Amino acid sequence: MGRRPSAITLQQLHYFIEVAAEGSISAAADLLYVAQPTMSAAMKDLEVRVGRALLVRSARGVTLTDEGAEFLGYARQVTEQVALLEQRYLGRPPSRRLLGVSAQHYSFVVDAFVRMVRGSEAAEYEFSLRETRTWDIIEDVRTLRSEIGILYRNDFNRNVIDKLLRDFGLAFRPLFLAEPHIFISRKNPLASRDRVTLADLADLPRFTFDQGANNSFYFAEEILSTLSSRREIRVSDRATIFNLMIGLDGYTISTGIISDDLDPEIVAIPLEADERIEIGWIGHSGIPLTQQAQRYLDELRAVVAEFGVELLG
């Protein structure tokens, strides 16, 4: 009978997590004060033990194979559980918390992130929040730069988004449905209206988030992206779009969920349109979330629920 492979060690899991995060064996070795040959040998030994390639090595560093991405999800789970055991039974301080989130430009994403950080019991943490383009959100989650991505889909973009996610081994999990609203300055003449129509917006500047090289209608962050506008301005960040709303009396279309604390000068007005916006999170198919990611999603649902929005999951 063949010899059974030796067990995976917790140290190897820690090493692997850092290698994946840094995208480099040498950078991970420097971070953990380990000799580079030792780190490289540990990664090769780990691959032998699991019987499959986890890393693709090149002159530019390392990337994860599909199996490596799946393995990383389980490695994070194991190390987090061990840290919780040590905290509970050995009196160790709470472990360093890690989480990356990439999202389209929604204030409720920031609200939930703030609550998560404030509620963290960790003495040390390293969180990241990227408001970015639709393609980059998907790429961040695919490469595990972020554990979670937040974006929207509707009847127009659903098939394209879902196919792309399947091709990358990702899945969309719905969070809530929202009626379309326009975001405008409180000083905009439409701010006193109960509802607005597309005809009301015909002469106003329309602000949209720039999607860079992937500026397809299917990757637009706003619904009704195929409708033409005589005055169109593309921007790259939420602060700029809100400042332009105030300065130019323009609008953008979104969910209607907006933070009075974070964006006090902006209001949401319902838009008459035969559309609904489905907001969800994306992650790797079949890879369990870390407890920190679950905490963030719990905070996200709590924020949204305060607006009376229909939760889906």
Round to whole Å and give the CA distance between 36 and 40: 6
**88 and 236 share one domain:** no
DSSP output for 122-150: -SSEEEEEEE--HHHHHHHHHTTS-SEEE
Do 24 and 60 meet the contact criterion of CB atoms below 8 Å apart?
A: no
Predicted local confidence at residue 173, as pLDDT = 95
Do 152 and 279 meet the contact criterion of CB atoms below 8 Å apart?
A: yes
Among 44, 72, 95, residue at a domain's last position: 95
Fill in the amino acid letter for 208. T
Predicted local confidence at residue 220, as pLDDT = 83
β-bridge mates for residue 232, sequence order? 206
**156 and 305 share one domain:** yes
Predicted local confidence at residue 44, as pLDDT = 93
**76 and 202 share one domain:** no
**146 and 292 share one domain:** yes
Among 75, 95, 115, residue at a domain's last position: 95
**231 and 264 share one domain:** yes
**159 and 196 share one domain:** no
Do 253 and 271 meet the contact criterion of CB atoms below 8 Å apart?
A: yes
Round to whole Å and give the CA distance between 285 and 265: 40
- Please report, for the domain that includes residue 238, its CATH number: 3.40.190.10
Task: Report the SS3 class of residue 49.
Answer: helix
**165 and 284 share one domain:** yes
**What is the rounded (10 degree) CA torsion for 217, 220, 223, 225?**
-40
In Å, what is the CA distance from 297 to each residue of 112, 116, 222, 270, 279? Answer: 8, 9, 23, 26, 12
**Domain count for the chain:** 3
**106 and 160 share one domain:** yes
Do 263 and 107 meet the contact criterion of CB atoms below 8 Å apart?
A: yes
Round to whole Å and give the CA distance between 24 and 14: 14
**35 and 107 share one domain:** no
Residue indicated by tokens 């090769």: 44
- Please report, for the domain that includes residue 26, its CATH number: 1.10.10.10
Which pair of tokens denotes residue 252?
């953008």
**84 and 204 share one domain:** no
| pLDDT values of the chain reduced to their tens digit, one per residue, 313 residues | 455 567 889 999 999 988 988 888 998 899 889 899 999 999 999 999 998 999 999 888 888 888 888 888 888 878 877 876 776 677 776 566 678 899 999 989 999 999 999 988 777 788 889 999 999 999 888 877 788 999 999 888 899 999 999 988 899 999 998 899 989 999 999 989 999 998 988 889 998 888 877 667 788 888 877 777 788 889 888 888 888 888 898 899 888 888 766 678 888 899 998 888 999 999 988 778 888 899 999 999 999 998 888 788 6
> pTM above the 0.95 mark?
no
**190 and 244 share one domain:** yes
**150 and 202 share one domain:** no
Domain ranges, residue 20: 1-95
Among 78, 95, 112, residue at a domain's last position: 95
Predicted local confidence at residue 115, as pLDDT = 93
Round to whole Å and give the CA distance between 21 and 88: 27
- At 83, give phi and psi (nearest 5°): -60, -40
